[in-house]
Amino acid sequence: MSNRPYIVGNWKMHGTRAMLAEARAIDRAAERLIKVEVAVAPPFTLIHATRKEAELIGIGAQDCHPAEGGAHTGDISAAMAKDAGASFTIVGHSERRADHGESNTLVKQKAEAAIEAGMGVIVCVGETLDDREAGKAEATVGRQLKGSLPEGEGVAEQVTVAYEPVWAIGTGKTPTPEDIVAMHKHIRAKLVEVYGEDGAAIRILYGGSVKPENAAEILSGKEVGGALVGGASLTAESFLGIIIAAAGDGEE
């Protein structure tokens, strides 16, 4: 695992070719911000063009189908996303779990398919507000991890986990720094349970209303290895604000 903070922009269902200028600006700035590992996950339609525009930053997909190919109208396999230029894919985002009824089992199949295709994965987990208020946040996240994490020889090296409380996504609300650290600690323990020693090196990102204003505090939390950023990754200006905060002391 790299010790550099890993800042990933998830563009969700945003972006036409007009947004490539943002990717270019992020990429140019990344050249100076070498203390931070930066990536964006544009929609499938922009993966190829973004890869061509941006030389330094990582490019990922937001999802993949678990099958290698076949009669699955409208779906994209991991190999296709990779061929278009993605080196990793997000799986199990709460919006996919909610919009498409994705189960932990399906998320795990997707993660394993992506790794089989030679990609890294960012496996997303996170509790709802009801879970948190009922004191079940850790149990929910633990269950999601157990069901969603890919299995197999050497897979841990390809895994990043993103903790995204559902109630913090796009709401401007975030857990307290103490709650973020407590959950990351819980996730670390689960990763070690599942992968043994290799689990100690897996990066755990926080996601949910990360902005330039709160990034430094969130990223200073123990075990917080970076951020998965939605809304604030859509312009180079705000995304770079987060990357600069992650760099800690400016631009080197």
List the catalytic residues: 93, 164
* Size of site (CB under 6 A) for ligand 13P: 14
Q: Are 52 and 82 in contact (CB under 8 A)?
A: no
CA distances from 138 to 55, 135, 142, 165, 227 (A): 39, 8, 6, 11, 19
207 is a site residue for ligand 13P (CB under 6 A): yes
Of residues 62 and 77, the one with the C-beta less far from ligand 13P: 62
Whole-number Å distance between alpha carbons of 204 and 142: 14
Quick one: which of 228, 240, 242, 246 contacts ligand 13P (CB under 6 A)?
228
- The residue at minimum Cβ distance from ligand 13P is 230
196 is a site residue for ligand 13P (CB under 6 A): no
Return the half-sphere exposure (C-beta side, CA atoms, 13 A cut-off) of residue 52: 8
Query: CB 209 → ligand 13P: shortest distance, Å?
Result: 4
Identify the H or E element spanning 130: helix 129-133
Binding span for ligand 13P by CB under 6 A among 52-60, 66-74, 153-161, 208-216: 208-216
230 is a site residue for ligand 13P (CB under 6 A): yes
Of residues 14 and 24, the one with the C-beta less far from ligand 13P: 14
Say how many residues make up the chain. Answer: 252
Query: CB 90 → ligand 13P: shortest distance, Å?
Result: 7
Query: CB 119 → ligand 13P: shortest distance, Å?
Result: 17
Burial class (CB in 10 A: 0-12, 13-18, 19+), 20: middle
CB atoms < 10 A from the CB of 205, how many?
24
89 is a site residue for ligand 13P (CB under 6 A): no
- 161, two tokens: 């986990």
15 is a site residue for ligand 13P (CB under 6 A): no
Contact string 91-130 vs ligand 13P (x = CB under 6 A): --x-------------------------------------
Instruction: Give me the DSSP letters along 18-40.
Output: GGHHHHHHHHHHHTT-TTSEEEE
- 58, two tokens: 């990582």
150 is a site residue for ligand 13P (CB under 6 A): no
CA distances from 226 to 24, 77, 152, 186 (A): 21, 27, 25, 16
Query: CB 152 → ligand 13P: shortest distance, Å?
Result: 25
Angle, helix 44-53 to helix 20-30, in steps of 10 degrees: 40
Coil vs helix vs strand at 17: helix
Of residues 115 and 205, the one with the C-beta less far from ligand 13P: 205
Query: CB 163 → ligand 13P: shortest distance, Å?
Result: 11
Q: Which residues form the interface with ligand 13P (CB under 6 A)? A: 10, 93, 164, 169-170, 207-210, 228-232
